[in-house]
Amino acid sequence: MKKNYITTGDAAKVLGISRIAVFKKIKAGQIKAEKIGRYYVIDKNHLLEDTKKPLTANNKREVERAVKKIVNEYAKTLILLGKE
Its pTM stands at 0.58
Kindly state the percentage of the chain with pLDDT values over 70.
89
* H or E segment and range at residue 28: none
On the 0-12 / 13-18 / 19+ scale of CB atoms within 10 A, 65 is exposed
CATH of region 1-53, choose from 1.10.1660, 1.10.10, 1.25.40, 1.10.3470: 1.10.1660
What's the CA gap between 5 and 51, in Å, rounded?
A: 16
Q: What is the CA radius of gyration of the chain?
A: 17
Residue 5 near residue 20, CB atoms below 8 Å? no
* pLDDT confidence tier of residue 22, bands split at 50, 70 and 90: very high
How does the average pLDDT of the chain come out, rounded? Answer: 85
At 44-70, the pLDDT tens digits run 887 877 666 677 888 788 888 988 998
* pLDDT confidence tier of residue 2, bands split at 50, 70 and 90: low
